[in-house]
A = this chain, B = another copy of it.
Amino acid sequence: MFKEQGMKLSTRSRYGVRMMSDLADHYDLVPIFLKDIAKREDVSEKYLSLIVISLRSAGLINSTRGAHGGYKLARRPEEITVKDILEALEGDICLVDCVSNPESCSRVSICPTRDIWGILGRKIGETLSSVTLADLASTRRKKAENNIRSNI
């Protein structure tokens, strides 16, 4: 009971968003090998190959098997939000069960805390859906420029 580091995002989600961001940088080209993504994003390829399953079955990416296979975004980067990705990887963004499922707790009609968790969950959803893969790609480009400049 002494751990002091909660409220952390799972690595599953972190890696998943990193991968999608990587795919956004190669949108509209040939499919990308998982091997290359894993290397660029510095993630275990095996582990990423599990994460990718959820992204595909959520319809966010398309896959091609066999030699010269790989992955591509299923939609344009502007049409994929971070919320889409997190929902594919973590399920519904709902901080407590009783918000989306009132029958799960008998105290719903009394409990004053339930309201906050609902509000907070909605705000988180709004923030997440306001960021697209296109945004990520553009900040990546900006960061790259800055790095070049600071190296001069």
Contacts and interface: CB of A to CB of B under 8 A. Distances in A.
Interface of A: 1, 3-10, 13-14, 17-18, 21, 42, 50, 53-54, 82, 86, 89-97, 107, 109-113, 115-117, 119-120, 123-124, 127-128, 131, 136-137, 139-140, 143-144, 146-147
B21 A10 contact: no
Q: How many copies does the complex hold?
A: 2
Given A7-B86, A86-B7, A116 B92 contact: no
A45 to B, nearest CB: 15
Residue among A17, A50, A120, A128 with the highest chain B CB neighbour number at 10 A: A120
Contacts of A128: 120
Given A7-B91, A93-B7, A119-B127, A110 B1 contact: no
